Structure 1
Amino acid sequence: MGVTIRFIWGFPLLIFLLPTLNNFDGRDGGAMASHKLHFVEHTENLVEVKQVYRTGYHFQPKKNWINDPNAPMYYKGFYHLFYQYNPKGAEWGNIVWAHSVSTDLINWIPLEHAIVPSKPFDKYGCWSGSATILPGNKPVIIYTGIAKQKSKPGYQVQNYAIPANYSDPYLRKWIKPDNNPIIKPVHQNVSSFRDPTTAWFNNGHWKLVIGSKNNYRGIAYLYRSRDFIKWTKAKHPFHTKSDVGMWECPDFFPVSSKGTNGLDTSAIGGDVKYVFKASLDMTRFDYYTIGTYDLVKDKYIPDNTSVDGWAGLRYDYGNFYASKTFFDPIKKRRILTGWASESSTASEDIAKGWAGIHLRPWFCDSNFETDREYEDEQFFVMANTPQSYRFGNPATMSRHCLFYTVVDLYH
């Protein structure tokens, strides 16, 4: 404010997921069970949606507008994906947190909306955010709410939401406690203060980063908390860079410099490097650096060989924005997905009845590569998950965008 995913609806989906999703409502011939899955409005009345140019494998709802992926996570046997969605049309507006679940990152079923504008702290918008799994396997979402204050239109605050029932593997209902917001802007740009990251834990505190700007300087503010409710801003920014504009949808995560497995967001150690990603509002692309994390000062420092800002490394050189990663604890990998707004005009989107897709999910391989042509600049490999299909050719690799390995989302 990509990953081969196939959105399948109706009977084929029921056949595939019947062994696991045992609580369909029977509307499409599926089995009845004690727990009903409530389908949402974007699965119905689809005759007006034009199917030309729709994808076969990418994640997208049947109609209307979709943008940022939010709070992807794994919980009790299911992958959860939340996303910015307009239930009323194929243009940006009326944004809610839509919610879908999957057992394989390919076949998805939509549930009822998880977070919708309803409280003073998010009445004018429920924008992007992230999920953190707290001790006891308890997920919590922190997201940006758009509130309204006198003389401060577009006032952005950070709120949290928790499941109404932790025993529900589908996490169908979410509660926004009344003690929100938990983070407010203080001496910051109140209309550019958004998109909190997944939190990590060290030195007795939970920590997260929020994107912002001061004129054309991109800023990532770090906040600390002992209880996940009371948050305090660090004295100095976590990271900052001039002449880049707003840092939207920041992401921060560790990668192993020796192993190939993904790492939990709270992982630390001598063999750990760190990736900081920002989505630049000025260019509408995602850029990242590799560096170190000073645990004492709570600051991120890009390596000398890792160019910062819009001249640096990009996740993808196509239409790719607002990406988000999460750690898959079952397969020990870090999965990344992002949003593509495509190239159609707003009027064309309205005419066809849908807009936007999510790109194929990648895993972030921690095997670092060195590009001798570019002064030994290092980058980490992002690839489609291994051993099934090949999406590209190693001969076409660039130092900026690597997705040349194979994909296997079933293993």
Structure 2
Amino acid sequence: MRLLAVAGAMGHPEIMWRPDQGLSARKPTIDDVARLSGVGRTTVSRVLNGGPNVREPVRRKVLEAVQTLDYRVNPQARSLAGGGSRMLALVLASDLDAEPNSFYASALELGAVRQCLHSGFQLFTRHVPQDDPAAIQQVIDIALNQRCQGVILTPPFSDNADLIQQLRARGVHLAAISPGGGGLGLVDAVGIDDEAGGHDIARYLLELGHRHLAYLGGIAGHLSAESRLDGVRRAMREMGLPDDALTVERGDFTFRSGSLIAERMLALSPRPSALICANDDMAAGALSVAHARGLQVPGDVSISGFDDTPVSAIVWPPLTTVHQPLKAMGGEAVRLLSERITGGGGDWAFRTLPHSVVVRESAGAWEA
């Protein structure tokens, strides 16, 4: 193993147990290195910092002890020891084979940047391919190697309990946006009640008279989007509708996937009278297909989105959608994270922000 000894401006750097040692192992301390090498704690610190006045045989003995114990320098702790970089990372999932979501990522980033300015932090954004087998390690490397004091995780990384536990075991401060499943309750988080959002948009359409719905979902495993589908199903049960009154197909949150799924949905016989889309980009894609097929929206089919991004107001007809306060969510994630970094906060908190159904012209009454 190659050891990197990095000079520090103040004190000694903390030492971090290597990832391949497992999370159950005790993290060794600088005193363990001192005992194994037979020298004092101050000498170990001087060696690790590349300091002067250390005889070569002593330096070799300390480095051999470090290698035997399989240590490496923790760059995050070194940054904190030197006063801190005041840098936060926003980690976003990406798909290299699909176009990006038109507004979701930029809205979160804008809200986070605004709060960083207020809180005295800087922000950098990293897009990590969510389907890459090395995605988890990429996120860990971002946290440890980019001198950041905290990391904000977005779906599906915020759903991943193993990733969260690995980062916490390494002393990384975290906040999560819209976590689900195992990610809930492990770190401070912010989001809306996605299940209630799905319920509310479905209930609105059902009260307009629609009885045959289609749901154009996002990527399987995105638990916040799955919660929206759960809400749609709950609204249908409340109306006494059978399971086959809802047709479900998953896409990837893009305009293109919304178009492809809508082609199939609108070719069905009988055709669903309303399409509920997992986000506004997919709804815009579905709307384009309806126009191409000569269907009137909402006369022949109603279409709804989710997020209330700018595209929802500029397409024709403008989309009925669910408002998700994305900028506020990004800002609140930074606020929660900065409180942790500065020593505040008690139990892990989940801040639920309000959502609302935004009624526009793409959804209308239906008479069977």
User: How would you bin the TM-score normalised by the shorter chain?
Assistant: under 0.3
Q: Kindly name which structure, 1 or 2, has the bigger radius of gyration based on alpha carbons.
A: 2
TM-score by length of 2: 0.24
TM-score by length of 1: 0.22
More strand by share: 1
More helix by share: 2
Q: Higher relative contact order at CA 8 Å, sep ≥6: structure 1 or structure 2?
A: 2
